[in-house]
Amino acid sequence: MIGRERRMGRILKPDGKTLIVPMDHGVSVGPIKGITDLRETTKELVEGGADAVLMHRGWARTVDTQGIGLIVHVSAGTSTGPKPLHKFVVCSVQEAIRLGADAVSFHVNVGSETEDEQLEALGAISDQCSLFGMPLVAMMYPRGPKVASEHDPQAVAHASRIGAELGADIVKTNYTGSIESFKEVVRSCPVPVVVAGGPKMGSVKELLVMVRDSMLAGGRGVSIGRNIFQHSSPKLMTAAMRKIVHEGSTVEEAMSFLGEVP
């Protein structure tokens, strides 16, 4: 499994932590602000110190990741389709390998009406990853008719555990709102857990507090998109995130770095 270990080393750094910036939103919601041209955005993220970027196969053919990790997203669905919570397989692990990927990612909405199909697809992708020594990032979100809150600690812990049990090397999921409750998510998941950013937050401080608290709870990093690439300076926001994730900086230190009032 030397290949897998090498690839993982380009995602998870020697301190066991990672700063991933996903930019797969063009399929689900369209070319929103910040990702009109992923080539330009990626340059800023590289300069800011991102450990890896995540994108679909089309952009992966043309974007220069310049030595940072590349994660190819192999599932997709749109906000305008008849099943907005369903995710379909749109890329093979073999294609991701041809593109030079260091990992692939797959999205599952646990609790959705097509949960069974998505879990079956995740299992099949996990088999391919094992065969080719490719790390798997599972985006595991509790979403569906019976899910009262996507941030409910029990629901988040269950979704995260499913991802790990089906073969994920890294699980991306929602923050549960408190250090203590997120500790339980991390404790019950046998692989590294990274926190999602979700919709663009109302304030920089709110975002940074969430990141800092998730790290204090034992999280191993972040996979945050809109709250980074839609910032007025993606480069600076990436660098500020890096200070918290890899350097253990406080929220106040990160805000001062950004030029924000703590």
Choice among 17, 87, 172, 235 that is catalytic: 172
As a whole number of angstroms, the distance between CA 63 and CA 24 comes to 13
Q: What's the confidence (pLDDT) of residue 261?
A: 64
What percent of the chain shows pLDDT beyond 90? 95
Whole-model pTM over 0.95:
yes
Task: Specify whether 43 is catalytic.
Answer: no
Q: State the average pLDDT over residues 203-219.
A: 97
Joined together, the tokens standing for residue 176 give 């549960």
Choice among 17, 51, 102, 141 that is catalytic: 141
Joined together, the tokens standing for residue 10 give 């380009």
How many other CB atoms sit within 10 Å of the CB of residue 162?
20
As a whole number of angstroms, the distance between CA 195 and CA 221 comes to 7
Least confident of 9-18, 123-132, 193-202, 227-236: 193-202
Contact 83, 116 (CB under 8 A): no
Q: Is 262 exposed, middle or buried (0-12, 13-18, 19+ CB in 10 A)?
A: exposed
Indicate whether 110 pLDDT > 90. Answer: yes
Rg (CA), the chain: 17
Structurally, at CATH architecture level, domain 2-257 sits in Alpha-Beta Barrel (3.20)
What three-state secondary structure class fits 172? Answer: strand
> Domain ranges in the chain?
2-257
Task: Specify whether 146 is catalytic.
Answer: no
Q: State the average pLDDT over residues 12-39.
A: 97
As a whole number of angstroms, the distance between CA 116 and CA 218 comes to 30
As a whole number of angstroms, the distance between CA 86 and CA 77 comes to 6
Strands 103-110 and 88-89, bridge-based pairing: unpaired
Task: Specify whether 15 is catalytic.
Answer: no
Distance from chain centroid for Cα 254: 21
Indicate whether 46 pLDDT > 70. Answer: yes
Q: What's the confidence (pLDDT) of residue 32?
A: 96
Q: What's the confidence (pLDDT) of residue 2?
A: 87
Q: What is the tens place of the pLDDT at every residue in 55-78?
A: 999 999 999 998 899 999 999 999
- Polymer length of the chain: 262
How far is CA 252 from each of CA 22, 170, 256, rounded to the nearest angstrom? 25, 29, 6
Closest C-alpha among 171, 68, 75, 70 to residue 120: 75
DSSP string for 127-169 = HHHHHHT--EEEEEEE-STT-S-TT-HHHHHHHHHHHHHTT-S
Q: What's the confidence (pLDDT) of residue 66?
A: 83
Q: State the average pLDDT over residues 33-40.
A: 97
Q: What is the tens place of the pLDDT at every residue in 157-210?
A: 999 999 999 999 999 999 999 999 999 999 999 999 999 998 778 899 999 999
Indicate whether 40 pLDDT > 80. Answer: yes
Choice among 24, 102, 169, 213 that is catalytic: 24
